[in-house]
Amino acid sequence: MTEAQRYTATEILAILSARQLRDGQVVFAGVGIPLLAATLAQRLRCPGLTILFEGGVIGAFVEPGKLPPSTNDQRCTKRANMVLGSADVLLLLQRGYVDVGFMGGAQIDQYGNLNSSFIGDPAAPKTRLPGTGGGNDISSLTNMIVAMKHEKRRFVEHVDFITSPGFIRGDESRGESGLPMGGMFRVITELAVFGFSERSRRMKVLALNPGVSREEVQDNTGFSLDFDETTAMTEPPTDSELQTLRLLDPERLFTA
């Protein structure tokens, strides 16, 4: 068995995302990979991590094998610190009380802008997507982590619509657009871990996942990538990370 065969693509997304979190942070997480990553970090390294749901739950502590399918599910509330209305949760974002937001989207571009609205011409879109929900608020006011499948059709030079802003057009354009705080922090895929240049704000490869080459990452990306001067190799998932993750999701509802 090769190293990559020990885990699924979804499992490495959750594990690498969990490694980005730090103890004491407040994390705005959705269901699926974001919740798995936040809960995994909470179990293994960050007992003081506070998980916040758009549905209003603050301080969620999810039981193994009982991952909620929705942020409005009552399983989210068990052992939580409090439950607020959605408007109050978004006010916490505006007041600067949330450190990290987890996001996803159908498209992401070289500046970390996300599209979850539609694909194609806005006058006659080929595909309509779920839309923003609280995505615009989260991406406008926190440091973002995105976990998504790496495909050329998803990693595009310019998204068809900016649902959730990253660094807009690069350079200083985010601040100039009225968003002085936050921005895209990390993008995690089954191929690599990405950050963004401090100056141009373009996406760059920080680390390649085990068994992945630079050529493979570039071939699956719809724009020219920058590579960090010291591009590293990510550490493979440990047995402890995999065992804990599979305990949290024993039926593989989110990690198949």
Kindly report, residue by residue over 84-111, the tens digit of the pLDDT. 888 888 899 999 999 999 988 899 999 9
Are β-strands 127-128 and 203-208 bridged in parallel, bridged antiparallel, or unpaired? unpaired
Active site amino acids: 54
CATH architecture of the domain 3-248 equals: 3-Layer(aba) Sandwich (3.40)
- Take residue 121 and report the two structure tokens written for it: 């011409």
- Take residue 213 and report the two structure tokens written for it: 């080459």
The answer on pLDDT for 246 being more than 90 is yes
Amino acid at 109: D
157: nearest Cα among 104, 228, 225: 225
**CB-based contact 54:103 (threshold 8 Å):** no
**Residue 8: exposed, middle, or buried by beta-carbon count in 10 A (0-12, 13-18, 19+)?**
middle
**What's residue 55's pLDDT?**
81
> From CA 47, how far away is CA 68, in angstroms rounded?
20
pLDDT in tens, 40-80: 999 999 999 999 988 888 998 888 888 887 777 777 787 88
Mean pLDDT of all residues in 9-37: 93
pLDDT in tens, 141-170: 999 999 999 999 999 999 999 999 999 999
* Residue ranges per structural domain of the chain: 3-248
The answer on pLDDT for 26 being more than 60 is yes
**CB-based contact 249:36 (threshold 8 Å):** yes
- Take residue 11 and report the two structure tokens written for it: 């499992």
> From CA 256, how far away is CA 246, in angstroms rounded?
10
